Structures are given as C-alpha cells and as structure tokens.
Amino acid sequence: QPQLQESGPGLVKPSETLSLTCTVSGGSISRSSYYWGWIRQPPGQGLEWIGTTYYDGSTYSKPSLKSRVTIFVDTSRNQLSLKLSSVTAADTAVYYCARHRLFDWLLLWGQGTLVTVSS
Amino acid sequence: DIQMTQSPSSLSAFVGDRVTITCRASQGISNYLAWYQQKPGKVPKLLIYDASTLQSGVPSRFSGSGSGTDFTLTITSLQPEDVATYYCQKYNSALFTFGPGTKVDIK
C-alpha cells in the first residue's frame, strides 16, 4: 500500500509563497488513473479541497484559490508539490495530500503538515 | 460551483441511539458522494462512497443513502468510539467540495 508524506516549512511569512511537497512511497506517482490532490484544514475548522493534478500535467483547482495555487507532479522524485502565493493568516492550516481516481473518493491520505502564516 | 451543506452542525446523543446526519448538494450529483469520519488530531477516514457503499473494514452500524441532492449518513447504534466530526464530499466532477461537517458527541 503506497504511503504519502507531506513536508515543508512550518512557518511562512505573510505575502510570501507557501511551498509543500508530498513524497509518494511504495508506488509510482505516474501510475495511470491516479490523481493527486491537496486538502487543507484550518485549526478547528472543516476540510477544504485545494486542487488536484494528474501526472500528465492536467490540474483542477478550487475556483476561489485558483489564481494563487500551483500544483504539479515531479515524476523523477515521485513527489507532488503545492505552491500557494501571497499567503495570509487565513492560509494557516494543516495541509494534506491525497490520492484518488477521477470522479472518485479520497481513500489514501498523508498524515498532514501544519503550516502557520505569521511574521 | 456546487455547494454542500450538512445538518445538524453538531449533535449529542446517548450510546445506543440512532443518529442521522444529512448532507445536501445545491445541484444534483447523482450518487457521487462520500462520507468521512475525522477524530480529533487524526486524518479523515473514508466511511462510505458512492453514497451507500460501505468501505471495507467500517462497522456495519454505519450506512449511507440518497441520490441527487439529498443524502444521509446513519449510525444505527452510537458507540463511544464514534465521537468525531463527519464530512460529506462530492466528486461528480474534477472539482471536489466538502460539507462543513457535523460534530457528534456522547451525552
């Protein structure tokens, strides 16, 4: 069973770019039919889907975040990446990566990583 | 965008009670709906997919129903280990959306 592990800075300054990676172990990120997504959860709040990508580069993002979000796959490193620009305190959250098929549920999740936006 | 709502936002029930949580989509999503359970500090866990299919290993006291815009998650006999927040999620398109969650407690 593949495993996902998020990593990245735990503290980001306002107006800067948040950058996270999700390392996939035990399986290839370029395996056909699997999509790779990011979900976040602000402290004490609900889950918010950020976006999803496929290894061929096709990407889907939440419309309200689309202008600030970049999601891509690095097949050579078997990693998924998230970049969120111009962050504010409202972007403070636990960020999860997850695997799914198109038009499918989220079965495989990473453990999540907390990112705090603060000066 | 299709919006997802849940009711109630929280509930408290006795052990052994039947608990029902409702999820509503602002437009029809057929049966492209999943339910997740999230315990404090833990990763969300898939309970049900395709609105009514129980994920392997999930206790049979959990069940889901519905299609189109209205869905329900039922716990037939609430157990102490069911204390958690429950989320619905639609996946009828490449744009996913979660419901706001329902927090379940024991009286």
Inter-chain residue contact A110 with B46, CB threshold 8 Å: no
Task: Tell me the shortest Cα–Cα distance from A110 to chain B, in angstroms.
Answer: 8
Is there a contact between A47 and B95 if contact means CB atoms under 8 Å apart?
no
Candidates A59, A105, A106, A114: best to mutate against B (most CBs of B within 10 A) is A105
How many CB atoms neighbour CB A34 within 10 A?
19
CB contact under 8 A, B99 and A49: no
Q: Which residues of B2-41 are buried (b: 16+ CB within 10 A; e: fewer)?
A: eebebeeeebeeeeeeebebbbbbeeebebbbbbbbbeee
Residue B4 pLDDT exceeds 90: yes
Summarised one tens digit per residue, pLDDT across range B41-72 is: 999 999 999 999 999 999 999 999 999 999 99
* Structure-token pair, residue A92: 């403070």
* pLDDT at site A75: 92
* B window 45-64, beta carbon within 8 A of A: 46, 49-50, 55
Burial class of residue A33 (count of CB atoms within 10 Å of its CB; 0-12, 13-18, 19+): exposed
| pLDDT beneath 50: ranges in chain A | none
CB distance from B68 to chain A under 8 Å?
Answer: no
- Beta carbons within 10 angstroms of residue B70's beta carbon: 12
The answer to whether B99 and B8 have CB atoms below 8 angstroms apart is no
Q: What is the DSSP letter of A90?
A: G
Q: Which residues of A39-50 are buried (b: 16+ CB within 10 A; e: fewer)?
A: bbbeeeeebbbb
- The phi and psi torsions of A116 (rounded to 5 degrees) equal -110, 130
B68-96 per-position pLDDT tens digit = 999 999 999 999 999 999 999 999 998 99
Of A37, A103, A106, the CB nearest to B46: A106
Q: What CA–CA distance (Å, rounded) separates B79 from B92?
A: 32
| pLDDT number for residue A19 | 98
Nearest CA in chain B to A62: B95
Report the pLDDT value the prediction gives residue A1, as an integer from 0 to 100. 84
pLDDT at position A105, please? 95
pLDDT reading at B1 higher than 90: no
Q: What is the mean pLDDT of chain A?
A: 95
Please give the pLDDT value at position A4: 97
Element (H, E) at B84: strand B84-90
